[in-house]
Structure 1
């Protein structure tokens, strides 16, 4: 008898993701919190209004209070919405949304989780090359917190966690500049990840800048700073350009 080979981390991750996706589909009609109304309004806001009004519109109590890259992400998710129901992305939003609205937003959460799967697959490949256990990565796909918060309470934290894991993959590969840029993009998507910024700064400073001589080290520090600054400029500059929106953006850094 020939011994059966154990499944690869990649195939295990795909199966774990597919199984979790089926569970999430079963949870579509379950409880939803006010975050469903928040993100439904943000889809309508970013689709129906020009960007200069995203942070100043007051037609709803659910004002946009995430950084600009998440606003662009909402805009992207809203593009196919008129094919399902034009009222889904019209302002003002309806007080009693039909089931199609709930189904559409639940599916956008599940679809955006593909970034989480891709990042887990990349890290699983890294773990296999370094002969490290990758069970923890598989458990990320089945995280009760992601299922309960993203697919019941309603959030897009799976997509954001995918960005974080993608950044860690680049760091694992020794591509520190790419890892720093992706983490900067994450900060421009949800400011709560600022809690990890000091850890990133210390790691990148020691691993990317130190131990390479003063001149080369300073040059790398300037390069990393310029790359991160470019990400923030790309995210915030269009909104800072419009008069009065600096004050609106101030609330994004308030926890």
Structure 2
């Protein structure tokens, strides 16, 4: 994976994975999520680590804002949109970051973090992550962000997908625009999706509800919840979506126990 170091002007990649194929390059991991979405023989698909897909529990905890902590069966911990704060938890194994606002990244990540994955390329152009960490395969799909005076900065946000225990878990990051067909194809199947619902700083509620419906995940976890009341988002879904307000800040999911009806779950936190 690319090593990442913090410098005065921001994060600097010590190495960026080449975009063109080369003979000495390691083969990329296989995406089970894309394989299932495209109708491949998914029962024969294995990750690049050669470990077969399993169906064990994954725990997802809401830390706050856009940060969720994902805990895998083999003990990998992943903090999304990491800004330096993860509550009382130990330093995670992996952090992902996005740069639209300082609340979604830090230029001084804890040195104990083994894998720091920025959603943008400090050297310019798109960033491309294909990382296997123990039982988890992590990849990204880049999108654009709004910049000054109404312009757009290409490939400056990443949707991260975490493939673990047979589950496909997606985090939309600081999404600023609709997803095109190519984005949907690159993302593949999602069982769980973390969605910003502020209604203004990211995609508006109506457009975000359309995105959620297109992604067809079984579990929808709202985040970035400051701003317009959450009911304004929930009201855009019909009776085919269940809604659950939990008293806990976490849940466990397995592939075999996913709800049959798409379910929006609001965990405790802000």
TM-score range, shorter chain: under 0.3
When normalised by structure 2's length, the TM-score is 0.26
Higher strand share: 2
Query: Looking at CA atoms only, which structure, 1 or 2, has the larger radius of gyration?
Result: 1
Which structure carries more relative contact order (alpha carbon 8 Å, separation 6+)? 1
